[in-house]
Structures are given as structure tokens and as C-alpha cells.
Amino acid sequence: MRSSWRPARTGSKETKHLPDQQPDDTVTIEDDAADHVGPLRRCLVTRERHERETMLRFVTGPDSSLLGDALVFDVTATLPGRGLWLSARRDVVDMAIKRGVFAKAARRRLIIPERLADRVELVLENRIIELLGLARRAGAAIGGFEKVKERLGAGQSALLVAASDGSEAEQARLRGHHQVAVVRPLKAQRLGAVFGRERTVHVSIGPGKLAGMIGIEAGRLAGFRDAAVAPEIATMAESGQREPRPG
């Protein structure tokens, strides 16, 4: 039976409308071992393959209620057990619950946390705060308009983290002609807490692994918000490379 899904390239950010009716159980159950080998994973709902780092992984574990196993969001994709993978989008998580795909994929009864999509969003936000803290302590993250502007001019920024409630015009003025990816995952107050300030609007992340990790996490969070990340997140940020200098 041919899939009713319209083909899309791997990793596409194209918005899709999920059908309310589930195709069939054989399409939903993730029982193909090939789906768990290599860098790609298949979404239980959309059936599309994406890079595993950009997706959401869930696992099952014992629940104290004894009514079934609990579904756990594995934000770092490191917990033991077979992963249940979804595209990083709020509508996909909601549809997975509506269709009961987690229990079908696990082949047993599962306890699904209430407001799962909201919980996932909060965990992703806290993960970004954790990574920003690591970057700050490592000297890779600096905040403030003038400091960020200076680092941009020196070609030492791999990623800009801007407050989601900050002025987009000011963010654009700061970025200028520099080809650096911009993400907007946190409000100024939460961003400022990372630097021990009341508010921070502009943050620069230097080249390295952390820049790529923060960019990827911001991309995952964007699937749960309208404007968490600029649409032009660059490969440069994902690889943690600095902006090419002129000349």
C-alpha cells in the first residue's frame, strides 16, 4: 500500500498538515531494525527520515502506578532502551498521542505524561540554558551589544543567540553583513540569568562543538514555537565553524 504522505527532502522545515485518520498499524509500528542504524531515524507519525540529532527520542521505563510503563522524553538521546522517534514539532507530538502510536510501537500499555508537548518544550528550553552555561564557563559565550559586535568584527562568532522578545531591528543592525546564523530560543530575562544579569538580549557563541549543539537544540525548540529560530539557521552553526573572514 502506497503511503499517502507527500515526499519531502530529508531535514525539510516545510510545514505539513497531518491527516486526522491514521493510515494503518503497519505504518505506525517502528519494527524495522534498519530505522535504528546510521545517522537517520524515521518519525513514527510522518514516516520521514531526519538526522537523529534534530529529532525527539522517547523511551519507556517502569511506572510507580503499576498500570503500565511510563513514556520518557530522552532529551540527550542517551538513555538505554529502544528509541521511539518523532519529528521535533508540536503537532507531531500531539498527533502521536491522538493516534496512540507510542503504545503501538512499544507493543504494550504506556502511561503518557499530561501535556506532553509542553513538557518537551520546557525540557528543550532548559537544555539550551544548560549548554549556554557550559559555553559561558568555557569562555565561548559572551553577552552584550558591544562585546558581540566586536567579536563579529573579528570573525569569531559561529552563532548568535538573540532574545526572543528583543528588537528584531536591533538584532539585524548588529548582525549586519555578517553571515552568522541567529537563533532566538529564550526571552531576555532567561538569557540574562545565564550571565548573572537581569536581562541579556545579544549573545555570541564562538566556534566549536557547543555552537553546533546550541543551534541544533534551538532548531528542535523551534518546532514548538512560532519564532524560536531564524529560518536560515546555517550549516556553519551546526558544524561550529566561524564565519569566513574577507580576503
Is residue 176 within 8 Å of residue 153, measured between CB atoms?
no
Give the pLDDT confidence score for residue 74 in this predicted structure: 97
Give the pLDDT confidence score for residue 109 in this predicted structure: 87
Q: Does the pTM exceed 0.75?
A: yes
Angstrom CA distances, 64 to 67, 111, 151, stand at 8, 10, 51
Q: Which CATH superfamily is domain 25-113 in?
A: YlxR-like (3.30.1230.10)
Confidence of residue 190 (pLDDT cuts 50, 70, 90): very high
Domain with CATH 3.30.1230.10 in the chain: 25-113
pLDDT tens, residue by residue, 202-222: 999 999 999 999 999 999 999
Domain with CATH 3.30.1330.30 in the chain: 119-239
Between residues 145 and 35, the one the model is more confident about: 145
How is domain 119-239 classified at the architecture level of CATH? 2-Layer Sandwich (3.30)
Closest among 6, 132, 10, 111 to 61, alpha carbons compared: 111
Decide if pLDDT at 232 tops 90: no
Between residues 84 and 11, the one the model is more confident about: 84
User: Over the range 18-56, which residues count as b (16 or more CB within 10 Å of their CB) and which as e?
Assistant: beeeeeeeebbebeeeebeeeebbbbbbbbbbbeebbbb
